[in-house]
Amino acid sequence: MTKGHNSRSLVREYADRIVNLNGQVKEAMEEYVKPIRENIKAVLKEAESHGLDKGVLKEAVRRYSMDKQFVAEVQVYESALLESMME
């Protein structure tokens, strides 16, 4: 790397370019993510109209999407906790 002022300005130039590109990525992602979020809201509203609890459904989906091994481990801990509460 070059020394002195040039190296600092070079680093700054690259940093600014990367920050700019990261901003572009964020904007592009939001453009694609927003319609998907709206679709999710619509599905939740539809489920709610059929008598399902939106919050409970969200939690069920979160758990359903989890890694199965992780879920199994959590269930072991939950079971142990529940057993200890009943003693």
pLDDT tens digits for the chain (87 residues)?
555 567 888 899 999 999 999 999 999 998 889 899 999 999 999 999 999 999 999 999 998 898 889 888 988 998 989 888 888
Q: Give the per-residue pLDDT at 16.
A: 94
pTM of the model: 0.56
Q: Give the per-residue pLDDT at 5.
A: 65
State the residue for tokens 């359903």.
Answer: 64
Report the 10 Å Cβ neighbour count for 45: 10
For residue 69, how far is the Cα from the chain centroid?
20
Q: Give the per-residue pLDDT at 37.
A: 92
Q: Are 48 and 58 in contact (CB under 8 A)?
A: no
Q: Which residues, 6+ apart, have CB-to-CB distance to 1 below 8 Å?
A: 7, 10
Q: Give the per-residue pLDDT at 35.
A: 92
For residue 52, how far is the Cα from the chain centroid?
24
